């Protein structure tokens, strides 16, 4: 099996679609084929060898490493099913879109729609993420339906919009409309949140380590007897990033139900300080 390394040597004047730069695909290509791989842009095309210096080594599993600032490179890891893809720098929009498996690591910021409609695998963003992370594409009815999205920095607006399944962890702050129209799944936010928290939330769990400045009026406090759930929940989070990895053994959070404006039965948990 092959490990491919791409090091940026030229920055294009247009945005480029990276959806065909997948670890398993590149690992199976011949060395002389790699520089000639055609990448689509905004009405233009370019060859992989025009943008990157390419190196190839042996590895046990297919892997791809991109070195450099590639915020002009969209759809990194889109539809990925296996292998490991690592970006040492900033990434463009739609990173991990409709991802099915494997691991995508971004050691920088990601643009809008990271992990949108993700179905499996794991996407880790060590910087910030833009708007609509783990959300739905415009016009679609389902956001993330599986896998794990971990954001070490902050997330933009509409985090996990229309999410149906999976886990989203944000160590920092989240923008307006966090967990809006959430159908199912788990969203954990370690920092402050913006306005309209849980707007249109129907089911699922939203956990906050900091109380919001204003609770939505369509959420009602109540609910007891979830001690076992909390124990299992914190055990799961103990394997994840701070501040969630430090919750084991803490007292039960405050629990709210909503969004009652849509007859929602979602669960809002706020840690007791």
Residue 180 has pLDDT above 90, yes or no: yes
Verify that 173 and 218 share a domain, yes or no: yes
Of 61, 92, 109, which closes a domain? 61
pLDDT at residue 273 in the model: 62
Verify that 39 and 87 share a domain, yes or no: no
C-beta of residue 106 within 8 angstroms of C-beta of residue 126: yes
3-state secondary structure of 231: helix
C-beta of residue 80 within 8 angstroms of C-beta of residue 99: yes
Residue appearing with tokens 């011949």 = 30
Q: Which residue has the higher pLDDT, 135 or 214?
A: 135
Question: Is residue 249 exposed (0-12), middle (13-18) or buried (19+ Cβ within 10 Å)?
Answer: exposed
Residue 261 has pLDDT above 70, yes or no: yes
Number of structural domains (the chain) is 2
Residue 226 has pLDDT above 90, yes or no: no
CA distance 171 to 273: 17
The size of the chain, in residues, is 273
Of 61, 78, 104, which closes a domain? 61
How distant, in Å, are the alpha carbons of 215, 255, 265 from that of 180?
14, 18, 13
Cβ neighbours, 10 Å, residue 126: 18
Verify that 80 and 213 share a domain, yes or no: yes
pLDDT in tens, 111-140: 999 999 999 999 999 999 999 999 999 999
Q: Which residue has the higher pLDDT, 157 or 228?
A: 157
3-state secondary structure of 57: strand
Verify that 111 and 139 share a domain, yes or no: yes
CA distance 199 to 178: 8
Verify that 28 and 110 share a domain, yes or no: no
| Residue among 79, 74, 71, 80 nearest 108 (CA) | 71
Percent share of the chain, pLDDT over 90: 76
φ/ψ of 260, rounded to 5, equals -65, -20
Tokens of residue 105, six digits: 């690591």
Residue 166 has pLDDT above 80, yes or no: yes
Question: What does the pLDDT average to over 191-204?
Answer: 96
Question: What does the pLDDT average to over 58-70?
Answer: 91
C-beta of residue 205 within 8 angstroms of C-beta of residue 257: no
CATH number at residue 176: 2.160.20.60
Tokens of residue 147, six digits: 């896998």
Verify that 135 and 107 share a domain, yes or no: yes
How distant, in Å, are the alpha carbons of 58, 93, 123 from that of 77?
21, 11, 9
Q: Give the structural domain span for 98.
A: 68-270
Verify that 221 and 104 share a domain, yes or no: yes
pLDDT at residue 145 in the model: 97
pLDDT in tens, 18-31: 999 999 999 888 88
pLDDT at residue 70 in the model: 97
pLDDT at residue 119 in the model: 97
pLDDT at residue 227 in the model: 84
Give the pLDDT band of residue 222 (cuts 50, 70, 90).
Answer: confident
Verify that 234 and 110 share a domain, yes or no: yes
Verify that 106 and 215 share a domain, yes or no: yes
């Amino acid at each position: 099996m092959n490990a491919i390394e791409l090091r940026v040597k030229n920055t294009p004047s247009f945005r480029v679609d990276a959806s065909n730069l997948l670890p398993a695909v590149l690992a199976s290509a011949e060395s002389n084929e790699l520089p000639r791989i055609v990448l689509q842009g905004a009405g233009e095309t370019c060859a992989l060898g025009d943008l990157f210096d390419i190196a190839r080594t042996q590895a046990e599993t297919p892997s791809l490493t991109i070195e450099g600032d590639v915020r002009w490179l969209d759809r990194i890891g889109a539809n990925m099913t296996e292998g490991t893809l690592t970006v040492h720098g900033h990434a463009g929009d739609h990173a991990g879109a409709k991802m099915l498996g494997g691991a995508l690591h971004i050691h920088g910021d990601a643009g809008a729609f990271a992990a949108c409609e993700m179905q499996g695998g794991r996407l880790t963003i060590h910087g910030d993420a833009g708007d609509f992370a783990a959300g739905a594409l415009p016009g679609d009815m389902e956001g993330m339906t599986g896998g794990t999205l971990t954001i070490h920095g902050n997330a933009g607006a509409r985090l996990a919009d229309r999410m149906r399944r999976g886990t989203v962890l944000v160590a920092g702050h989240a923008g307006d409309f966090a967990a809006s129209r959430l159908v199912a799944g788990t969203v954990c936010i370690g920092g402050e949140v913006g306005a309209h928290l849980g707007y249109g939330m129907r089911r699922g769990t939203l956990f906050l380590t900091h109380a919001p400045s204003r609770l939505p009026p369509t959420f009602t406090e109540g609910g007891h007897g979830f001690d076992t759930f909390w124990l299992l929940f914190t055990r799961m989070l103990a394997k994840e990033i701070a501040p969630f990895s430090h919750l084991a053994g803490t007292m039960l959070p405050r629990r709210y139900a909503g969004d009652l404006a849509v007859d929602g039965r979602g669960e809002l948990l706020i840690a007791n300080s």
